[in-house]
Chain A
Amino acid sequence: MKDLHDLSRYPLRLEGPDRPMVSFRNVTKRYGDLVVLDGLNLDVAEGEMVSIIGPSGSGKTTVLRMLMLERIQGGVIYVDGAPLSHMERGGKLVPANSRHLRAGREQIGMCFQHFNLFPHMTALGNCMEGPVQVLGLSKQAARERAEDLLEMVGMIDKRDEHPARLSGGQQQRVAIARALAMRPKVLLLDEVTSALDPEVIGEVTEVIRKLVQKYRLTIMMVTHQMGFAADISDRVCFFYDGRIEEEGAPADLFSNPQKERTQQFLSAVKSAD
């Protein structure tokens, strides 16, 4: 096992036209003694829509959080060919410093279960903040970009409202526009419909469907909505106990699961519906 932690085993970059947009290589994540993910290997192709399902505590949300919010304890994560969790120093990979992480994460957007919009800014202000402060766009350019995206998610009429005056579904649509305003190569959706009332889930899934079908954005989505995942994903990964227990095209995985754990999980979810 020791050689897995030898960083010289990992390439400095992933090259070639077929290289994955996101690549997890032997990634381990621990909180203290608790191993949440153990030697995760997962590649996501450019333009691919991958859904991550599984019981709570299976590590599925951690997969997204490692890309955006947390450091890893083993392995290497690559985004668009370049290492994210690590950086090159003198021909070798070393753990990334915070500047490298921030730069790498500029290519990634993330939406959260509880939206996390900035409450003191309007919908428009939320969508302009990143482009102006981080990308250095002029206010005018950022406004145009934000308005285009708010139009796309159907929130242009509410551009001047603060989040407190928007419904959950509306807030989540603004949050998606805010993430897209950074022009990310990868979008992470962390249970974006879990906190919504049933009647507004549709308005958010419609937006996501548009992103997949019209814009071919690379998306990793953690979800509890099996029907939606089956409908929209190129691939579904079932997580159990910090590992990918089973993965495949939604038609195969949902209608003909091979592993016992997958069968148990899917039938439990089905009977709950």
Chain B
Amino acid sequence: MFDWKWDFAFEILPRLLGATLNTLMAAGAGYAIALVLGLVLALAQRTPVRLLTAVVREGVEFIRSTPLVLQIFFVFYVGPQFGLRLSPWTAGMIAIGLHYAAYLSEVYRGGIEAVPKGQWEACTALSLSTRDTYTRIIIPQALPPALAGMGNYLVGIFKDTPMLSVIGVAELMHTANAIGSEHYRFLEPITMVGVIFLMISLPAAALVRLFETWVRRKLGMIR
């Protein structure tokens, strides 16, 4: 019943590693979108324009309250009805980037709110512009407390990339599934996918923690 075949495993390894590259690209691109868009969403909620703040707030809540896989389906299959014809890759990146942007905006928001009120007052006392206040004073201080949350979502987005397989993006899960169907053997490909995910996730989490310490030291927050 449990007959692991090493020769089969080695035979499919190159294909899986190729797909791993796709998975990493998907996670990286999605995360890059989420990092930038998340900051935009967080800052939009701090503008004095009440309507904008409310719309963004509700939008973020909406995205966080619905499943990612639904959003992927929506962008890819419903998009064309609105004239938005996207490749699986593009649709997937938009959906996963938007989804994680919503989560990251909350992380940023928490970080920004953790900056003491006195820092804002010091900026006003120096007549710093709003832009300089954010880019030079507030965001550098909001970053260290936000880094742990940002790191969690980096690993999170990586682990969520298999959801892109539902619209046919050739990432790891999709490839493993295809191999399984071709050879009528699922044990090796699916197990190997699990091992590959583990081998990337674990070091990534450790690297994030190292990076966090490095940033804090760089900013003079710790000795």
Binding site for B on A (CB under 8 A): 68-69, 102-103, 105-106, 108-110, 112, 114-122, 129-130, 133-134, 162, 164-165, 178-179, 182
Closest A-B pairs by Cβ, 5 of them:
A162-B220, A116-B118, A130-B126, A116-B122, A120-B219
- For B, the interface residue count at a CB cutoff of 8 angstroms equals 21
Name the interface residues of B108-142: CB closer than 8 Å to any CB of A.
116, 118-119, 121-122, 124-129, 132, 136-137, 140-141
Residues of A within 8 A of B124 (CB): 68-69, 105
Question: Would you call A118 and B137 a contact (CB within 8 A)?
Answer: yes
Closest to B117 in A: A116
Question: Would you call A120 and B221 a contact (CB within 8 A)?
Answer: yes
Question: Would you call A179 and B125 a contact (CB within 8 A)?
Answer: yes
B223 touches A (CB below 8 Å): yes
Question: Would you call B220 and A116 a contact (CB within 8 A)?
Answer: no
Given the complex of chains A and B, what is the CA–CA distance between A179 and B221 in angstroms? 23
Given known A68-B125, A69-B124, contact A164–B118 (CB-CB < 8 A) = no
Question: Would you call B221 and A119 a contact (CB within 8 A)?
Answer: yes
Name the interface residues of B165-223: CB closer than 8 Å to any CB of A.
219-223
Given the complex of chains A and B, what is the CA–CA distance between A64 and B216 in angstroms? 34
Residues of B within 8 A of A165 (CB): 223
Question: Would you call B119 and A116 a contact (CB within 8 A)?
Answer: yes
Residues of A within 8 A of B118 (CB): 112, 114-116
List 17 extra interface pairs beyond A116-B122, A134-B128, CB under 8 A. A68-B121, A103-B127, A105-B127, A110-B121, A114-B118, A116-B125, A119-B141, A119-B219, A119-B220, A129-B137, A133-B128, A133-B129, A133-B132, A133-B136, A134-B126, A134-B129, A164-B222
Given the complex of chains A and B, what is the CA–CA distance between A134 and B223 in angstroms? 30
Given known A69-B121, A112-B121, contact A130–B220 (CB-CB < 8 A) = no
Residues of B within 8 A of A69 (CB): 121, 124-125
Given the complex of chains A and B, what is the CA–CA distance between A112 and B129 in angstroms? 20
Binding site for A on B (CB under 8 A): 116, 118-119, 121-122, 124-129, 132, 136-137, 140-141, 219-223
Q: Closest CB of chain B to A15's CB: distance in Å?
A: 26
Closest to B137 in A: A118
Given the complex of chains A and B, what is the CA–CA distance between A114 and B221 in angstroms? 17
Among the listed B122, B127, B221, which residue makes an inter-chain contact with A112, where contact means beta carbons less than 8 Å apart?
A: B122
18 A-B residue pairs with CB within 8 Å: A68-B121, A68-B124, A106-B127, A112-B122, A112-B125, A116-B119, A116-B125, A119-B220, A120-B220, A120-B221, A121-B220, A129-B126, A130-B126, A130-B127, A133-B128, A164-B222, A164-B223, A165-B223
Q: Closest CB of chain B to A160's CB: distance in Å?
A: 10
Given the complex of chains A and B, what is the CA–CA distance between A260 and B127 in angstroms? 41
Given known A110-B125, A112-B122, A133-B128, contact A120–B223 (CB-CB < 8 A) = no
Closest to A118 in B: B137
Residues of B within 8 A of A110 (CB): 121, 125
Among the listed A114, A117, A162, A182, which residue makes an inter-chain contact with B127, where contact means beta carbons less than 8 Å apart?
A: A182
Residues of A within 8 A of B122 (CB): 112, 116-118
Question: Would you call A130 and B221 a contact (CB within 8 A)?
Answer: no
Among the listed A106, A108, A116, which residue makes an inter-chain contact with B121, where contact means beta carbons less than 8 Å apart?
A: A116
Question: Would you call A129 and B127 a contact (CB within 8 A)?
Answer: no
Question: Would you call A134 and B127 a contact (CB within 8 A)?
Answer: yes
Residues of A within 8 A of B132 (CB): 133-134
Question: Would you call A122 and B220 a contact (CB within 8 A)?
Answer: yes
Given the complex of chains A and B, what is the CA–CA distance between A117 and B122 in angstroms? 7
Closest to A121 in B: B220
Residues of B within 8 A of A102 (CB): 127, 129
Query: Among the interface residues A110, A120, A130, A182, which one has the most CB atoms of the partner chain B within 10 A?
Result: A120
Q: Closest CB of chain B to A129's CB: distance in Å?
A: 7
Given the complex of chains A and B, what is the CA–CA distance between A122 and B127 in angstroms? 19
